[in-house]
């Protein structure tokens, strides 16, 4: 069963997000008067009626948005979005269906951007499973399934994912940026794509993951370690990095994390990071 939230749950979730974000902005404002302009901009972003392009993932990357990406006809906050919800969730999901004919013509970049632009991308990391398990479950939903199927047909999808990962902007103002960040990490972790990277590309991916994880925490103040830690671990395993492979074999909890992405950050952070820094040369 696909994990798209009901309208009422989605509204409550969005309301909670706004409250939390606004509370964070107000707290930051009380500590630092020098950030007045940033806080005003931050608060304005979450109080506007029509989110428009701020809801799309294209502004999360220091790349030009691919011309062949699908532009969803409705986005949260616009009048049409509210009108559709009045008709029921089925009407919303139907309106968000990407035509198969367009999917078949898309480039790697267009497919990935279309996937990340999906208005319900938050559902992909929210559920009763671990984030990674929820992500895998959502790959079976209609839109996601057809996009993923076409991605696997592309010969250079792994290179595309690496390019997008390196171009992710940790200072982005996209409303969904934390979800985009997580889903991008899980895509890069998939064996279908991760194993297609060369050993040097895998090391580059781990190095960038470590650097962006640190930068993400500094710019947002949030610890969002599980996804990049999982990516580092899966990449080292796929490259056959013996010190880490041997550690996983002897550590049952670490094995479970590498397999399922069980998100106990405190338990796995130091275990993975030490090996990751050695693996990609950051400890020298």
Say if residues 22 and 39 touch (Cβ distance below 8 Å).
no
Mean pLDDT of the chain: 77
pLDDT in tens, 224-281: 568 899 999 999 999 999 999 999 999 888 898 898 877 565 566 778 999 999 999 8
- Phi/psi for 61 (5° steps) reads -125, 145
Q: Mean of the pLDDT values across residues 192-206?
A: 97
| 89-148 per-position pLDDT tens digit | 788 888 889 999 999 999 999 999 999 988 888 766 665 557 788 888 888 888 899 999
Residue 122 gets which letter from DSSP? G
pLDDT of residue 49: 39
DSSP for 115-151 reads HHH-TTGGGGG-SSS-HHHHHHHHTTSHHHHHHHHHH
**pLDDT of 164-191, one tens digit each?**
999 998 876 666 788 888 899 999 999 9
Three-point CA angle 8, 12, 13, nearest 5°: 115
Query: Distance (Å, rounded) from C-alpha 98 to C-alpha 39?
Result: 36
199: which residues sit within 8 A by CB, 6+ positions away? 239
pTM: 0.78
What's the rounded Cα separation, in Å, for the pair 239 and 242? 9
Higher pLDDT, 208 or 75: 208
> pLDDT grade, residue 55 (50/70/90)?
low
Q: Could you give the C-alpha distances from 38 to 17, 27, 45, 77, 172, in angstroms and in order?
A: 19, 13, 11, 23, 13
> Which token pair is 129?
């499973």
Please give the pLDDT value at position 200.
Answer: 97
């Amino acid at each position: 069963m696909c994990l798209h939230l009901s309208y009422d749950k989605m509204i409550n979730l969005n309301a909670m997000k706004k409250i939390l974000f606004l509370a964070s902005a107000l707290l930051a404002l009380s500590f630092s008067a020098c950030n007045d302009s940033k806080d005003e901009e931050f608060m304005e972003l979450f109080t506007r009626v029509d989110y428009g392009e701020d809801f799309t993932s294209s502004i999360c990357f220091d790349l030009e948005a691919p011309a062949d990406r699908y532009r969803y006809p409705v986005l949260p906050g616009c009048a049409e979005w509210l009108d559709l919800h009045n008709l029921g969730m089925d009407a919303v999901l139907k309106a968000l269906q990407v035509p198969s004919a367009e999917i078949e013509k898309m480039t790697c970049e267009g497919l990935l951007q279309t996937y990340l632009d999906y208005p319900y991308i938050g559902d992909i990391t929210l559920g009763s499973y671990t984030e990674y398990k929820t992500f895998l479950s959502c790959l079976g939903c209609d839109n996601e399934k057809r996009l993923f199927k076409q991605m696997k047909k592309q010969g250079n999808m792994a290179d595309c994912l690496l390019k997008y990962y390196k171009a992710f902007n940790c200072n982005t103002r996209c409303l969904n940026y934390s979800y985009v960040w997580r889903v991008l990490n899980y895509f890069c972790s998939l064996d279908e794509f991760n194993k297609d990277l060369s050993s040097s590309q895998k090391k580059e991916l781990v190095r960038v993951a470590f650097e962006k994880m640190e930068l993400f925490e500094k710019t947002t103040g949030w610890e969002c370690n599980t996804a990049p830690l999982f990516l580092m671990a899966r990449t080292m395993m796929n490259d056959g990095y013996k010190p880490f492979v041997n550690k996983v074999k002897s550590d049952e909890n670490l094995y479970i994390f590498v397999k399922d992405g069980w998100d106990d950050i405190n338990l796995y952070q130091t275990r993975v990071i030490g090996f990751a820094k050695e693996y990609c040369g950051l400890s020298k």
